[in-house]
Structures are given as structure tokens and as C-alpha cells.
Structure 1
Amino acid sequence: MPGFLSWISGLFSSDKPGTVSAPESRLLNSAVATENNSTTDPALIDQLEEHLFSWLLDSPPTALHSEPGQWEPILENLRGRIARRELDELPRQPMTLPKLMRALSDDTSDRNHLTEIILNDPALTEQLLQIANSPYFRPGDQSIDSVDQAVFVLGLDGIRNVISASIMRPMMAARNSREALFAQRVWRWGLTCARSAELIAKIQGQDSSVFFMTGLLPALSYITLRRELQRICRMEPGMAEPSPSLIHDALSRYQWATSQLLANEWNLPPKYHAQLLAAERPAPGQKLSPLNDGIIVGTREVLRHAHQRNMPEEDVLSIIHISGEQFTRVRKVILEVLEAGSKARA
């Protein structure tokens, strides 16, 4: 069953918004493999996906697999909700987001204007200061005590990413003890993939903030889909909770479609949609985007740091589109962030 690397093979491809087609079985399509001149066995990527879901769902690999057709009625219900854009758990557009997007894309906006927009949303202000002081963003040991200081210290690129994380963080927070571990691990995975995509985009001279925000969308789609499944399962006789195999099947099939719905619901600018589409369906001969590479690197490193089974470094290097030296630089930053995060949680 294909999973997070559906971004590579172009799962759920459709020319019509809101249409969900059946997933393919391969994670690396032939066009990408030919461009890379890679001999990497796609089964290695399938294994990395399985390791990720085992960790996220805190379940052994055997618990992730269902009997053929076992969950089809529930999955078809979910597919229909996605196709009709009727997900009850789809997060609505944050009220402040349109103003922030306009301010961040306007070259004439100054620091005071951006600070004013943020301060007018007390909840966002609180989240932003927490995120800005987290290991993923804070430069050095200096504490960031105000929004104005955050904008000044982090700069526009840095504050864009902090804003993206601050907007999404409340939506990822666990609602109950049953989803607490899942939500916490999904958030860590999402931040790591987003940061990896951002760093790779910088190396390639691309707009890093776009890749950071799009890198968070798959994680938010996981939370959304799990909650939607919970709603559906509560209507099923004798089924209060979705099983790990059902969650695995749903996330594997519909994470891209749900990420697309999120981008549409939030009215993200065209450049975000363009990068999501390029990552979902790379054209023949097209190299993978920083988003694909970021998900591969981020997944491998977060699993490795959690002492889970992952992917050998030589296989990572055969898939991604940066050099070994550049990979080492990206990995060094990611490891520092993960280590600092572990100390903060201790």
C-alpha cells in the first residue's frame, strides 16, 4: 500500500479538483527513476513508509495490514466525503491568514505592519512566541520575548515559517488521550519534513518558505483523516475506534487528496498549488522537488533519531537531488533540532 511517498509516484492524480481516483501500487514511477538513473529497489521505499506508520501508530508492521476489501465500505465513505469536499474535520481557513499572506508577499510591507497584524490575534501571538522559541526556529540561546523581536531576529523568511507552524499547531494538538501520541509524533514528523524541504530548497535557490508550509500539509492531513475516520467509525455498529490497519489504509490512500483540500480551503496562492502538484505528479524527465526530497530526508532522520528502522544513507543519496556533502549539511541541522527537541521534552 503506497504511503507518504505518493508525492513521488503521483497518486490520486486527477485533472478535476475534488476527484479522487484509485491509488497506484508503486511509490517511485519510471519517469523519476529514469531521470535519476537510479537502481534503487522501490521495495526499500515501501519499507521506509511501513517503518513510518509503525512509529506513528505505535503498532508492529503486522498490525498495519488488512485483509483485501476489509475496510472498503468505510474507505469508500471517506473517499466520497473527500470527493464532495464534505470532510467534517477539515480545518477552516485561519482568520488572520489572508492578511498575513498579503503582508508577507508585499515587498512594501514593513516590520511594524506585520507585527500589528499578528498582535491583533492574541491566540496567534501566543502560539507564535512558543513556536519561535522552539528548537526548530530559535537561533542560538537567545530568548524571543516579543512579536517585534521575533520578526527582527528571524527575518521575513524565518517569520514566514514560524507563522505557518503557529497557524497549524493548534489544529494538530491532541483532542484526547487516544490520539495524543499520534498527534505528537505526526507534528514532529511534519516539522522535520518541512524543515528538510526548506533547507533543500535553499540549496537549490528556490523559495524556501513555500516548501516549509507545503511540507506541513501532509502532517495536518494525517490528523484530519484520523479524526474523520473516528467520526465514521462511531456510526458503525460495535466500532468506536479505527484500527491501525484502517488508519494506515486511509492515510496511505487519501493524504494527498486531503492536502489538496486544505490548500483549496485556505485559498493558498497559486505558487503553493504549483509546488504541491509538482511533488504529487512529477512530469516525465522531471527531477523530484525539494518537497519530495524533504519528505524522504525528514522521514529517515526522524525515524533514525527515534531509534526506529529507517533507510540506509546510500539509498537516501541514490534518490534525492542534492550531493552527499549537501545532504550532510541538511542532516546536521535536522539532527541538532531533533536533539534540542528531545532535551526540551525531557
Structure 2
Amino acid sequence: MPGFFSWISGLFTSDEPVIASTPESRLLNPSAPVDDNSATDPALIDQLEENLFCWLLDSPPATLRSEPGQWEHVLGNLRGRIANQELDELPRQPMTLPMLMRALSDEKSDRHHLTKIILNDPALTDQLLQVANSPYFRPGDQPIDSVDQAVFLLGLDGIRNVISAAIMRPMMAARNSREALFAQRVWRWGLTCARSAELIARIQGQDTSVFFVAGLLPALSYITLRRELQRICRAEPGMTEAPPSLIHSALSRYQWATSQLLANEWNLPPKYHAQLLAAERPAPNQKQSPLNDGIIVGTREVLRHAHQRNMPEGDVLRIIHISGEQFTRVRKSILDVLEAGAKTRA
């Protein structure tokens, strides 16, 4: 995929010092709606992103800040691994993914063919049933007991998203107690952003499954980057654990580049790369991607539900590209699953 590799290499090739040449990538990249001259104070966007990292890393704002150049030797190591596609923690493509993607994109595929593919992978079968019965997907109070029932009840669009979440869930599961809270919160945030992007894409008549999968990739990139940092830090004299300020710097710099690497490693079609790039660098005066809006709405709502500082609703409505009534519908759907998830965890 020449376009992808030229993009990724362009991020990291420069004769300038590392600090100057490393772009400060932003997670939240809103653009003013077309025909709307209003603008949201960039400080509000920065604050929402900082609030997210405070919650994910369970740290106050002061611990997320570092001195200029403080971690550049570690970040430079990480930067080189990304540029050379040598991340040891980059999840490899699940074996059944290519076959599933072909079946899901083939209009001739029926649910029995899809069920057969899934049942040939016992681990995926277990994960799929767990995810299908989670508050984010189960269509009613009746439990889903079989893959065939899941495919029938959720339909092809719904099962695409369940499969995507089921494939990614084990990769985001905590490996140890140090990761536990971070992994649990990243998973919840990723699902909320993915669901928000999916709902907004449906409102706009776009391919919902593309935006659901793309909405999960930044969350998986956070887990990947944190684990890669731990590998690097264990090799550094006097370091055993990556401090919050280092993790924050790595996630905020390399979240989109790592999401692109994941999409490439999994051989996702070019449209996924295009949506990730559009979310990272939205073109001025063009319609904003549902992925941008979904991440903004999902971030705001998951923080609000967790009783964290977030963004006032009026500011959200000024930067997303759906109406107030549509936002209310999306928000209600998101809150319903967040509330149901809280009851399940309790």
C-alpha cells in the first residue's frame, strides 16, 4: 500500500531534531461545520483531551506534564520502532479475519455460511457470544445463546461490529494488575467512541461498519503503545515502569500513526486508512468524518458518565455535524449502554 507507507515515512523523516520534527498529533480534531463561521475555543478541545488522559491514566493533570525534552530518548526509541514498523507489541492479524471480511462483504453470503466460519474458531465463538450479550450489542433482555442466533438477531451490520469487537477484546484485556484499570477504561472508551461513530454514520447514510472498526483502533493503539513503552522502559537504566507523563506524551504523539499501522498489519481495505487520515487531519471546509464526531461525542459522554470533567453540551453541538435532536438520540443510546454496563460491572 504505497500511499500508506509514504504517509507513515513522511511523519518521521526529517533532518530536524526529534523535538522539532515530531508532530503533536491530536486525538480530537474538529472542524467548523460547512456554512458555519462559529469556532470553538481550542483550549476547550485541549481540556477535553487532557480530561480523557487523566481518567484513562488515573492521574491528576500535573502528573501528565513533563519538562521539554524530558522523555525524548525514550520517545525517540518508540518513534524509530513505529517508523520502521518494528513494534513488538503490535497485535498480529487474527487468522480468521480475512475470511470473515470476505464473507461479510459478499452479498451472496448467508448467515449459515458466516456461522460456519465463526464456529471453526472456538476462541472467537466464545468471545463473540460474550460481546454479543454485552450492553453495547444485545438487542433486548433475551440472552443470545448461539452464533446463529446472534447473526439472525443482529443482522449483517450488527454482526460485523460484534466480530470486530470480539477480535479486539482479547488484545485489550489486561495482562497484569498494573494494566487492569487502564485496559478496562480504554475498552469502555473505545466501544463508546465506536458506537457513537457508528450511530452518526447511520444518521448520515454512510457505511456504519467502517466507522465502528475505525473507532476502536485508537483504543487498541493506546494499549499497544503502553505495552511497547513498558518494553523500552525495562531496558532503560533505573526505569521499571513508564510514568504517566511519558505514557501521555507517547499516546498523544503516536495514536494515529499506530492506528494506521494496525490497519496495515491487518490488511484492512484502503477506506479504513482514508478515514483514519481524515480524522487525524480533517480538510478545511469539508464535511467532517463521523469518526471525528464519534470520538468527540464518545469521549464527552464516557467522561460525563464517569463523573469526570468534560465539555459543555453547547460546545459539543457547535463542533459536531449533526443536529441537536440527532445528538440527543445518539447520546441517549450511548447513555443506555453505559448505564447497563455499569450495572453489569456492579
Same fold at TM > 0.5: yes
Is contact 2:33-2:320 (8 Å) kept?
no
Is contact 2:27–2:49 with CA below 8 Å preserved after alignment?
A: no
CA shift, 1:301, in A, is 0.2
Instruction: Give the Cα separation in 1 of the matches to 2:166 and 2:282.
Output: 30
Q: Which sections of structure 1, spanning at least 5 residues, go unmatched? A: 1-12
CA distance in 2, matches of 1:283, 1:146: 44
274-283 or 259-268: bigger deviation: 274-283
Match of 2:18 in 1: none
Which is worse superposed, 18-27 or 260-269?
A: 18-27
What is the distance in 2 between the residues matched to 1:25 and 1:104? Answer: 33
Q: Is 1:313 aligned with 2:310? A: no
Q: Is the 8 A contact 2:31 2:319 kept in 1?
A: no
SS in 1 for 2:8: coil
Query: Which residue of 1 is the match for residue 141 of structure 2?
Result: 141
Q: Supply the AA of the counterpart residue of 2:51.
A: H
Aligned with 1:20 (options 2, 8, 11): 11
Instruction: For 1:1-346, list aligned pairs within 5 A.
Output: 15-21=6-12, 22-24=22-24, 32-33=31-32, 35=34, 36-346=36-346
* Displacement of 1:19: 4.1
Q: What do residues 131-185 of structure 1 show as CA deviations (whole Å, max 9, x unaligned)?
A: 0000000011011000000000000000000000000000000000001000000
Q: 1:28 to 1:104 in 2, by over 3 A?
A: closer
Q: CA deviation at 1:286?
A: 1.2
SS class of match (1:17):
helix
CA contact (8 A) 1:136 1:337 kept: yes
The percentage of counterpart residues that share the same residue type is: 84
1:26·1:42 contact (CA, 8 Å) conserved in 2?
no
Find the counterpart in structure 2 of residue 10 from structure 1.
Answer: none
Q: How many angstroms apart in 1 are the aligned matches of 2:32 and 2:62?
A: 29
The answer to whether the 8 A contact 1:194-1:295 is kept is: yes
Q: CA deviation at 1:33?
A: 3.6
Letter in 2 for 1:194: A
Residues 234/257 of structure 1: CA separation in 2 closer, same or farther (3 Å cut):
same
Whole-angstrom distance in 1 between the partners of 2:321 and 2:300: 15
Q: Distance in 2 between matches of 1:331 and 1:27?
A: 20
CA contact (8 A) 1:27 1:46 kept: no
AA at the equivalent of 2:292:
N
Match of 1:3 in 2: none
Task: Give the C-alpha shift of residue 27 in structure 1.
Answer: 7.4
Give the Cα–Cα distance (whole angstroms) in 2 for the partners of residues 314 and 98 of structure 1.
42
Alpha-carbon shift at residue 288 of structure 1 (Å): 1.6
Distance 1:188 1:34 in 2: 28
Change (3 A) 1:25 1:125: closer
User: How many angstroms does 1:26 deviate by?
Assistant: 7.3
2:33·2:288 contact (CA, 8 Å) conserved in 1?
Answer: no
State how far apart, in whole Å, the 2-side matches of 1:152 and 1:76 are: 49
Q: Are residues 140 and 64 of structure 1, via their aligned partners in 2, closer, same or farther at CA, if it must alter by over 3 Å?
A: same
- Write the distance in 1 (CA, Å) between the matches of 2:79 and 2:111: 44
In 1: Cα distance, 2:148 partner to 2:137 partner: 15
Question: CA–CA distance in 2 between the matches of 1:25 and 1:148?
Answer: 42
Asked if structure 1 preserves the Cα contact closer than 8 Å seen for 2:174 and 2:183, the reply is yes
Contact 1:199/1:208 (CA < 8 Å) preserved in 2?
yes
Cα distance change of structure 1 residues 37 and 24 upon mapping to structure 2, 3 Å threshold: farther
Amino acid at match of 1:17: I
SS in 2 for 1:20: helix
CA contact (8 A) 1:27 1:45 kept: no
Per-residue deviation at 1:25?
A: 7.7
2: CA distance, partners of 1:306 / 1:222: 19
Q: How many residues are paired up?
A: 333
Separation (CA, whole Å) in 1 of partners of 2:44 and 2:113: 49
The 2-side partners of 1:27 and 1:87 are apart by 21
- Structure 2 distance, partners of 1:144, 1:25, is 40
